[in-house]
A = this chain, B = another copy of it.
């Protein structure tokens, strides 16, 4: 494998001139420029990108931390990130964590080791303190609302999104309201739990723990929820479901077992997944793709200019009323 020293020798110039030609810098005579390109051709020269990274101290690589990929939510976010990364000539290094703290810390260590220029965190388990500890190692963008820390964040106000949906249900006369959620930890889930408590209290209704369904991520979970629901002595009359996949599972299984929706059970999903549209599921549209896009742009702008208009960016959520609530 030829390197620039070999090229220099072959072309009869210095390595500096080779570098200048290869990277399109001015102040090189047409003659030598040509000689270098010819030498490159002849010796089948290929740049070693690792050496470039080491010499420049930058990689044009952005890390993406996320628990899993095979989920409509995360794959939408990463698609948004990817689109922008492509546009600006950046590459994406994947850190799948399965929400294991150890893996999350590994990703942060990689940032510290300068494997990438920055990191986008789609979701995580580890405390915010951990991110704070790595802030000087490179820009980190979180895809969630963060309090008490001055992180870069792009987020959806899940509290307001939940309030919006809950108010709608209450206005429709519902009082026995439950919800399905992916996992109980994490700021998004906390925000939703808070909204649930607050709004129900406003109308003097006691929140019930058994009407909160945890571990709802995929279509199949909707079926499970429906089976639990049908077996209950006291059933909620309405469910907020933080994933349209799960909502679809509920609606489809309800049809199968003859539960009338929304009469017996009203359902509001989240995401505005194509599946929700197809099934006529009332949903809170969440801009996942845009979230990824903006997260990358924020990071990119910081990397290129060293400053940003604002470190936090909020994205809107809006209720789309269809047939299920």
Contacts and interface: CB of A to CB of B under 8 A. Distances in A.
Interface residues of A, number: 47
A224 to B, nearest CB: 12
Contacts of A95: 91
Contacts of A49: 110, 113-115
A279 B248 CA distance: 11
A82 B93 CA distance: 11
B278 A223 contact: yes
B79 A68 contact: yes
A78 B69 contact: yes
A219 B278 contact: yes
B50 A54 contact: yes
Contact of A274 (B54, B76, B114, B218): B218
Give the most central of A61, A96, A112: most B CB within 10 Å.
Answer: A96
A249 to B, nearest CB: 7
A86 B103 contact: yes
**Interface residue SS majority, chain A:** helix
A275 to B, nearest CB: 6
Contacts of A114: 48-50
Contacts of A47: 113
A275 B219 contact: yes
23 contacts: A46-B113, A48-B54, A49-B110, A49-B115, A50-B50, A50-B54, A50-B114, A51-B54, A54-B54, A69-B69, A69-B75, A69-B79, A69-B82, A70-B76, A70-B78, A70-B79, A75-B75, A218-B274, A219-B275, A220-B274, A223-B278, A248-B275, A252-B279
